[in-house]
Amino acid sequence: MSEFYGIKVEDIFKSMTDRFRPEGAANITTTFGYSIKNIGSWKLTIANGTMALKTTDDLSGCDVVLDTDGETFVGLNIGKVDAMSAFTSRKLKVQGDFNTFGLTSRMFQKYMTPGQETRQEQELITLKKTISVKQRFATGPVFGKFLKGLKEKKILAIKCPECGRLQSPPRETCAICRVKNEEWVEIGPKGEMRMMEYCYYASPDPLTGETRETPYGAIGILLDGCKDEEVFWHLLRPDQLNDVKMGSVFKGKVRHGTRLRPVWNETRKGNIEDIRYFEIDE
Amino acid sequence: MNKNFDTTDCYVVEGKLALPYTYFAGRVGSTFITTIRDKQKIMGVKCNTCDKVFVPPRQTCERCLEDIRDNWVELKNTGEVVNFTVVRYDDKHLPRKAPFVLAMIRLDGADTPMVHILEGVDLDKVQTGMKVKAVFAEKTTNTILDIDHFKPLK
């Protein structure tokens, strides 16, 4: 005998008596015919809250007849096949009123494979929480000076005494030369666009849980006074995402990007968001 | 404290980190809590090999590594304090205002203790070996706090 999804068509019919719910069949009087291709035909009679099922080749007296193949029939019973899509794709044919078959879901409990009965649906408990962790960030002397600079509308960079490169945000040492940085330089505040990441997904701000509007542009700006890859990362004004041009240096050939200027917040607290974003400088 | 560098520009940024998470009680844990909530009954699971009854329930016996998830046994709502501590500080995650007692209570019929709040007794009168009784919560929170607290059995 052929099986579909590991289930025999015959088993579904055999279990109907056990799955029958008289309360669901009250006031229903109908005869259903099932014609399963290459497997057999069944006639189901529902009357006065009782059911009778028999194997027969004669489905002529049925109110509705369902004509399908074994795979679709089993799939329908275990929820693997959607009745409507099986119907529209002609895998399932109905003589009579299609909706009458909807009654069977009220009259019978769902078919379950042996062993599945014991694994009844269980209420599973989950708990959604947000815990808030206090944290303190000690800036140290170098980063502190940089943040204080932002408060005064200054963008500061620190200079390596050996290779001369600028770092902003600053670090206490130059990681390439392994020497302590000492000299401070004010850079910008205007600069040119070097690169942009067009961001479609914003992760939530860990401090507030809020998510930035997308898409947004995370940009690398070559501030005046800087060279090569000494770019400063910030945001681009959201409505100007498509109006900027990136700059580049390729084999010594410089292509200038769009000129940008920072937009400062009125009240500045000494953090990177004191600059709201950069916008096109015209 | 003296620092060997200039601290003029040093300052501290106060912040908060929000950590959203979902805790899943699991199938065994869910049954445990829904039974407390709906039937006001505390259930444990029994290992058929070593005859130990675990509460809070668990899927596997820690000694025999037997699958014990279906061996539910009903326990009494009474038990004995096997150990306790007095919580003397307030924090958001704590279920009561300090000071209060957290006790390890071995329910009658169980072999392992569970931690819960003990109320209705002076802090200095709590003793190990005390008989206590569960008081169920009126409103459900779908947590172990569906047992609101334990109180001394007089």
Contact B75, B45 (CB under 8 A): no
pTM across the whole model: 0.50
Q: Tell me if chain B has a CB within 8 Å of the CB of A137.
A: yes
Classified as helix, coil or strand, A125 is coil
Q: Tell me if chain A has a CB within 8 Å of the CB of B5.
A: yes
Per residue in A135-191, pLDDT (tens digit) is 888 888 999 999 999 999 999 999 999 999 999 999 999 989 999 998 999 998 999
Indicate the CATH number for domain A3-107: 3.30.1050.10
User: In angstroms, rounded to a whole number, what is the distance separating the alpha carbons of residues A210 and A206?
Assistant: 8
Q: Do A207 and B7 count as a contact with CB atoms less than 8 A apart?
A: no
Q: Tell me if chain A has a CB within 8 Å of the CB of B71.
A: no
Q: Is the reported ipTM for this assembly greater than 0.85? A: no
Question: Searching chain B, which residue's CA lies closest to the CA of residue A141?
Answer: B10
Closest by alpha carbon to A236, among A261, A256, A206, A257?
Answer: A261
Per residue in A196-248, pLDDT (tens digit) is 999 998 877 766 667 788 889 999 999 999 988 889 999 999 999 989 988 88
In chain A, where the domains are located: 3-107, 140-280
Dump the DSSP string for B74-126.
EE-SEEEEEEEEEE-S--TTSSSPSSEEEEEEEETT-SS-EEEEE-SS-GGG-
Predicted local confidence at residue B121, as pLDDT = 93
Q: Tell me if chain A has a CB within 8 Å of the CB of B4.
A: no
Rounded to an integer, the average pLDDT of A6-27 is 83
Q: Cis ω on the peptide bond leading into residue A215 (within 30° of 0)? A: yes
B24: which strand partners? A126
Rounded to an integer, the average pLDDT of A52-63 is 84
Per residue in A75-92, pLDDT (tens digit) is 888 878 888 788 888 888
Optimal mutation site among A125, A136, A150, interface B, most CBs of chain B within 10 A? A125
Q: Which residues in chain A touch residue B92, judged by CB atoms under 8 angstroms apart?
A: 132
